[in-house]
Amino acid sequence: MPVTLTAASAAVTSAAVPLHRALGLTDDELDAIRDRLGRDPNHLELAIFSVMWSEHCSYKSSKPLLRTLPTQGEGVVAGPGENAGVISIGDGLAVAFKIESHNHPSAVEPYQGAATGVGGILRDIFTMGARPIAVLDALRFGDPGDVRTRHLVDGVVRGVGGYGNCVGVPTVGGELVFDPSYQGNPLVNVMAIGLLDERRLTLAAAPGPGNLVILFGSTTGRDGIGGASVLASSTFTHDDPSKRPSVQVGDPFAEKLLIEASLELIERELVEGLQDLGAGGISCATSETADRAGTGMLIDLDAVPRREPDMAAYEVMISESQERMLAVVRPDREAAVREVCARWGLPCAVIGRVTADGDIAIVEGGLDDSGAAAAGARELARIPAAALTSDAIVHDRIGAAPVHARAAPAPGIPEWPSDGLPERGMDPGAVLLALLGSPNLASRRPVFEQYDSTVQVNTVAGPGRGAAVLRVKGTTKALVATTDANAPVSGIDPWLGAALSVAEASRNVSITGARPLGVTNCLNFGDPTRPEAFWQLSEAVRGLGDACRALGLPVTGGNVSLYNESASGAILPTPEIGVVGILDDIATLIGPAFVEAGDSVVLVGEAVPGLAGSEYARLAGAAPGDGPPVLDLEREAALQRFIREAVAGGLAASAQDVSGGGLAVALAEAAMWGGIGGRLRIPVASSPAADLFGESPSRIVVTCRPRRLEALVLLARQHGLPVDELGVAGGDRLLIDLGNGGATGPAEGRGSHVADALDVSLADLEHAWSRGLGRALGWDEVD
């Protein structure tokens, strides 16, 4: 009784390629499958292995690296391995959060790729028993002037909005970054956050042999056959039409019903375990839940509700049709579960039983009343659940630093920085305006206005100005969340880039006064079988771990996206970091904008030279001899402790992170957003470009009432932090005196004439900043 993979085997055997290779499995992997089964796999089993042992499902290249990350921390209730990390926030509540990629589907079909990315991560959240309360989307594309990039941006933004807006989960933050390395391979990383009653925490396990396996939600079709394994697990060419059917199609209305039905099932304690169906479909959901509980499952393939006829067994088992859930239910609760599903209009079917033998067994011909295969039923496949999940293959890849990395310049700045500033004209104000209007720093309003950011009435601070702030109803608390990734520096030094990403994300949470709780990460890298790409991944994971340990942050989950390469090459290594924090008393919250004229403006932390990887370098031309900035993780931790104490003590009126575009951009944003200018003085050390536009980390601009200044400065010094009084907020211009020595000294020595002051009106700043993105993308003014 050979089980044939009609379409796949017909296509591949004719080409005389062995089936396992056509399915993406290597010869070694086939041997490993034989070891685990003690025999040859049949075609259906091979198809299931090919999906479950794909990079996306198995983490076979990254698992050894990820094991090195710190996962323990205060309040961690669920960590890596579950659908989402869960951390207690007191009052009997917990926050669930996770970030995931949907890069390759979005490159093929941007609307559906992005939409189903949102849908998938939301399911990871409510599967845990949490109501999704927010989405953040971190997007990266190629040249914004390119026609294809514009098509992708438009489709992805509409897809994120089309899904999130409909399900009623606000999109409260994220990123939008343009870099040529993403030209053929855009990145769509979506983070979701949920809130749950700790007593309702639900795990994706299948305990209790004899329990029913119930599939509810949408029916199963041919969309997204092998989407995860096909799309996310091999190097990618965007014009390959054969991959188009691999993209899943999203139905946010069905998802909304699925959210309500799932949360109702959990609230009424009707399920023993719950798992969403994502990558790998039924194969993945059954084997993961069984393996976690040390059980097996007997699955009746005929019982799976389908949306099209004549589906082959392998298609049913690996379909990635969206908006489906798998529940493990005690037999006496079946009727109640069916009633809930019926109320929400969702199809629901018992597709099998939990067994004690540890195998995923698939039959056609039905089960009898006792839950055993009916007389005359055929067994199509039998695989130990562990072989598909915890005991899946792991590869020890080889990493090697690229030659140019060994020759990379030391951090710091050379004696004569070729920073480009003098060549751009003598007015640093003009450089500031150019930076503010550049695609990566200009206002993201044209994009985030297409998202509903206020539904659920929790949004205290939405997209556009630093971290998002969501109040927690019924408490004095707020959740604070952000995503960050420093890809340019990761391209130079992946350890440093990943550590900087963690530092910046955590800093963005801390400057509101909130305590960062934990980290979720999405590691977007190239082909791990290339030693250089694997070296980048392993260095980045080392940086991620080092930074998390230094800042006391547990890594509670995430996702790895490899093979982000196209004909034009690999992407910049992009370690996307999501951080969620808790603010105990929302009354103490501060924002980044200047608050009141007359307030003192202070810089805490000091600039270390190093322009490589900065937005300034992108705009003014690279500085070849220039290294990236230095990161001192101890100082970063001290800075974050300082600002949290300053906020709790009521010393600070505002705090703004110095990051993309450097100190000048940080000041310009704080001034624009507050509608208050400033008269400031920045003592320029060696290079005006490094001081004004350098992105050296561990620095924040803090404002305070003048009478609080002394206490604020004292607190900073107690934490061992350098403090510079920059001046006073007020007026309708941003005026920065560059000091005497620095600006005209070394610069004149280079034969240039840097202006003594930067002096720009708020109106001009606002004009440049607000129009930059629409102009770069060629979007008409929405108004």
Partner 1 sequence: MPARIGVVVFPGSNCDRDTMYALSLAGAEPVELWHEQASLDAIDGVILPGGFAYGDYLRAGVIARFSPVVRAVTAFADRGGLVLGICNGFQVLAEAGLVPGALLRNRGLRFLGRDVHIAAERVDTPFTAGLIAGRPLRMPIAHGEGCYFADDATLDELERDGQVLFRYVGGDGAAVGADDGARHPDNPNGSLRAIAGVLNTAGNVAGLMPHPERAAEGLLGSDDGAGIIRSFVAAAAGRASGRVADPNVAAAGVGAGSGR
Q: Give rounded-to-5 percent helix, strand, coil for the chain.
A: 40, 25, 40
CA distance readout (Å), 468 to 132, 136, 580 = 15, 9, 10
Q: What letters, b where the CB count within 10 A reaches 16 and e where it falls short, cover 115-146?
A: bbbbbbbbbbbbbbbbbbbbbbbbbbbbbbee
Within a 10 A sphere around the Cβ of 399, how many other Cβ atoms?
16
**Closer CB to partner 1, 169 or 646, in the complex:** 169
Given the residues 102, 104, 395, 719, the one annotated as active site: 102
CA distance readout (Å), 535 to 396, 487, 532, 542 = 12, 15, 5, 10
Instruction: For the CB of residue 50, give the shortest distance to partner 1 in the complex, in Å.
Output: 34
**Closer CB to partner 1, 16 or 782, in the complex:** 782
Between the two ends of the chain, the Cα-to-Cα distance in Å is: 65
In eight-state DSSP terms, residue 227 is I
**Closer CB to partner 1, 152 or 738, in the complex:** 152
Q: How far apart are CA 175 and CA 165, in angstroms?
A: 18
Instruction: For the CB of residue 782, give the shortest distance to partner 1 in the complex, in Å.
Output: 4
**Closer CB to partner 1, 460 or 755, in the complex:** 460
Q: How far apart are CA 519 and CA 578, in angstroms?
A: 6
DSSP code per residue over 568-594: TEEPPPEEEEEEEEEES-GGG--BSS-
List the Cα angle 388/313/114 in 5-degree steps: 70
Q: Which two tokens stand for residue 363?
A: 């039959």
Q: How far apart are CA 551 and CA 476, in angstroms?
A: 25
Q: How far apart are CA 80 and CA 555, in angstroms?
A: 8
**Closer CB to partner 1, 18 or 345, in the complex:** 345
Instruction: For the CB of residue 463, give the shortest distance to partner 1 in the complex, in Å.
Output: 9
Q: Give the DSSP H or E segment for 177.
A: strand 171-178
**Is the Cβ–Cβ distance between 590 and 513 less than 8 Å?**
yes
Length of the chain: 783
Say which residues have a Cβ less than 8 Å from residue 130's Cβ, sequence separation at least 6.
84, 86, 94, 95, 96, 194, 195, 196
Q: Which two tokens stand for residue 614?
A: 């900065």
Given the residues 56, 104, 395, 719, the one annotated as active site: 56
Instruction: For the CB of residue 391, give the shortest distance to partner 1 in the complex, in Å.
Output: 42
**Closer CB to partner 1, 407 or 782, in the complex:** 782
DSSP code per residue over 502-553: HHHHHHHHHTTTPEEEEEEEEEE---TTSHHHHHHHHHHHHHHHHHHHHHT-
Say which residues have a Cβ less than 8 Å from residue 554's Cβ, sequence separation at least 6.
70, 71, 72, 73, 76, 79, 85, 87, 518, 519, 548
**Closer CB to partner 1, 637 or 776, in the complex:** 776
- Partners of 86 in beta bridges: 78, 96
Helices (H) and strands (E) in the chain, counts: 28, 28
List of residues contacting partner 1 (CB under 8 A):
158, 161-162, 165-168, 251-254, 256-257, 260, 264, 343-345, 448-460, 471, 473, 586, 780, 782-783
Instruction: For the CB of residue 668, give the shortest distance to partner 1 in the complex, in Å.
Output: 23
**Is the Cβ–Cβ distance between 3 and 380 less than 8 Å?**
yes
**Closer CB to partner 1, 54 or 458, in the complex:** 458
Instruction: For the CB of residue 173, give the shortest distance to partner 1 in the complex, in Å.
Output: 13
Instruction: Provide the residue type at 780 as one letter.
Output: D
Q: How far apart are CA 534 and CA 392, in angstroms?
A: 20
Sheet order of strands, 131-141 included = 76-78, 85-90, 93-101, 187-197, 131-141, 171-178
**Closer CB to partner 1, 160 or 607, in the complex:** 160
Instruction: For the CB of residue 260, give the shortest distance to partner 1 in the complex, in Å.
Output: 8
Q: Give the DSSP H or E segment for 640.
A: helix 633-648
**Closer CB to partner 1, 161 or 420, in the complex:** 161
User: Does residue 732 come out as left (phi exceeding 0), alpha (psi in the -120 to 50 range) or beta?
Assistant: alpha
Q: Which two tokens stand for residue 290?
A: 């069984």
In eight-state DSSP terms, residue 306 is B
Say which residues have a Cβ less than 8 Å from residue 459's Cβ, sequence separation at least 6.
170, 172, 453, 468, 469, 470
Residue 238 is a catalytic residue: no
Q: Which two tokens stand for residue 268?
A: 């009424």
DSSP code per residue over 441-489: TS--HHHHTTS--STTS-EEE-TTSSSEEEE-TTSS-EEEEEEE--HHH
**Closer CB to partner 1, 429 or 466, in the complex:** 466
Instruction: For the CB of residue 340, give the shortest distance to partner 1 in the complex, in Å.
Output: 9
Q: How far apart are CA 570 and CA 568, in angstroms?
A: 7
Residue 102 is a catalytic residue: yes
**Closer CB to partner 1, 118 or 611, in the complex:** 118
Residues catalogued as catalytic: 56, 102
